[in-house]
Structure 1
Amino acid sequence: MTVSELNQFIFTADPQIIEFLCTAKVTEIQLDEGWCYIGCSTCSKKLIREETSFTCVPCNETNAVAKLKYRVILSVSDDTGSAAFLGFDEEVASLTHVLASDAAQIVGIGTNAQVDIDLPRSLPNLVGSTYTFQLRLKDFNFGPNHRSFTISRIFPARDLAPKPTFSQEGGEDTDQSLPQSVAT
């Protein structure tokens, strides 16, 4: 699916949970919302900062162990349009080969906790590369506040073989640059 088709789909289709493959080039790392978050080491959900600790609501843990997790918004484009794709910890780490917790560290506790680095060097290296993204759309993607598509998997883009062309008379038009026979 092209980026344009993906953007059009969310405006015309009924809300649903569906997945698509889309091949696009990373054009920018959006930093308005940062590149990481402080997540639970057990369930990966964002932790609530308390005065002297972190709380994980899903785990019902008032002294949760914090771990830095990727949350990266990639600006992507293809020949048909542009969009924002949201990559979380495992997907981004598979591209960068660096865990978020190895790229930076959490300094401080509770409400004073901060990440000690602005942007790991491995993230800007993604810009200019083309990937095939498996995107998972949920009900909220179809709302008026839709801003990004969530990445569920990332594959290196691969060049596809050209499609054969066929003449109107039913015979195949062959490209003279292609071998006409194959050796056994």
Structure 2
Amino acid sequence: MLQEVTTWYLEMLDPKQLRPSTPGDYQLRIEQAKIPSPEFSRFLYTSVGGNYYWINRLSWNYERWQIYLHRPELETWVAYISGTPAGYIELEKQPEDNVEIAYFGIMPQFIGQRLGGYLLSQGVKRGWEMGARRIWVHTCSLDSPYALRNYQSRGFEIYQQELHIENTPDKPIGPWLGAYG
């Protein structure tokens, strides 16, 4: 299906721009996934993005995941609530001391519990610790309806906006093919 998609590019140029969010009332742990695991990373990608047309990595084979994850410039941080993965943020160090938030999101059952703002805040703090002079991210109208507002609430500012047509499935596929019937 052809859809008109708006993509917003946002950036933060100074650590003082960060407006951190506090966590909700839950047993939360945020931990770096230090051992590259294609199985786990694909699980995070599909679990978080399945409802939002995250389809670009679905065709990746095991080797492609391995190559992507074994790069020293990539860090994956996972939020756990009571031992259950609840969301993740992928940070990529890039040339000229840029850090991109490559992927970020919350599992559906944890949305609305103030986890997204807190996990994003912690990810941005980590980006600055990585030596960033600039942290940037892009989101689009196919992502969570809360994504753009969350980025802006944390202090990111839009520096570019694009409109394009994208060919998508008729509806999001969910966390795995056939998950929703």
TM-score, normalization by structure 2? 0.26
TM-score, normalization by structure 1? 0.25
Greater helix content: 2
